[in-house]
Amino acid sequence: MTEFGTNLAAMVTPMQPGGALSEPGLARLVEHLLATGCDGLVVGGTTGESPTLSEAEAAGLVRAVAARVAGRARVIAGVGTYDTASSIRRAREAEEAGADGLLLVCPYYSRPTQEGVLAHCVAVADATELPVMLYDVPARTGVAMAPSTLIELAGHPRIRAVKDAKGDLFEAMAVMSRTPLAYYCGIDELTLPYLACGAAGLVSVVANVAADRTASLIQAVGDGDLVKARAVHDGLIPLMDRLLRSGTAAANTKAALAELGVIPHPSVRLPLLEAEFRP
């Protein structure tokens, strides 16, 4: 197992009808993810509907998941917001709650300069002793982390990895060639090429439903068996299409997990709307 794991699920947050958090659903989901091959769980990220979670709820989720996992996988807490002070509070609360690492998204909506992105990431990384995985997802934040920013941040002793949802493979390879940052694919549809280009693993929405198959894909690439890797990836394409290519991934994934009987309800919080899963 690496510092963050390799086969990480971007966990949904199980909820009851009406939006209250579902403790039974959370327990069953954690056991499902561990049983199917996840060695890392990302709690309270975008797929976990982080913008709708209060600070107390976010910390409580980390605490509950860490207690349930009990060292069987890494627990990575999503702590990024558009407010540095709030992100620092969430980081400290996650550390206290038992997280093994932090996922830190580029500040969204406010669209800071690259200097602002640097200052934000350093301030949060300085706030705890936990390793940090940066999250570069300009389609959601409105700002990309420039290669020069990533290279500079790689010099921080606790900034160790990048969840890359930018989709620029050449840029990812260039940054990997110049830094020790471990790259994780954050776009399920591109998992195979990212792994083939040297990514350490993935932070996957699809792993909520099919972590055994994403684990097989990682293993096949690690073994140098690209024929098998392509076959596994091809087999995942219909599922990726259903979960990711229409509607919202969090709602679609909850619907799939409810259909499988893993969580009791596919409930989400507004502004998301509940979805149905049609096999």
98: Cβ contacts below 8 Å, ≥ 6 apart:
62, 63, 66, 67, 75
Question: Could you tell me the two tokens for 199?
Answer: 């990514």
Q: What is the pLDDT of residue 254?
A: 98
6: Cβ contacts below 8 Å, ≥ 6 apart:
39, 40, 200, 201, 202, 218
The backbone torsions φ and ψ at residue 54, rounded to the nearest 5 degrees and listed phi first, read: -70, 165
Q: What is the pLDDT of residue 277?
A: 76
Q: What is the pLDDT of residue 2?
A: 72
Please identify every stretch of the chain with a pLDDT value under 70, giving residue numbers as ranges: 1, 279
User: Which position among 82, 108, 135, 194 bears the catalytic label?
Assistant: 135
Segment 70-100, tens digit of pLDDT: 999 999 999 999 999 999 999 999 999 999 9
User: Per this entry, what is the length of the chain?
Assistant: 279
**Is 163 known to be catalytic?**
yes
Q: What is the pLDDT of residue 276?
A: 85
The Cβ-side half-sphere exposure at 84, using a 13 Å CA radius, reads: 14
User: Which domains are delineated in the chain?
Assistant: 7-260 (3.20.20.70)
Question: Could you tell me the two tokens for 37?
Answer: 């091959």
User: Which position among 108, 163, 183, 184 bears the catalytic label?
Assistant: 163
Alpha-carbon separation of residue 190 from 28, 35, 103, 237, 266 (angstroms): 28, 24, 20, 10, 26
- Dihedral angle over CA of 11, 51, 187, 34, nearest 10: -10
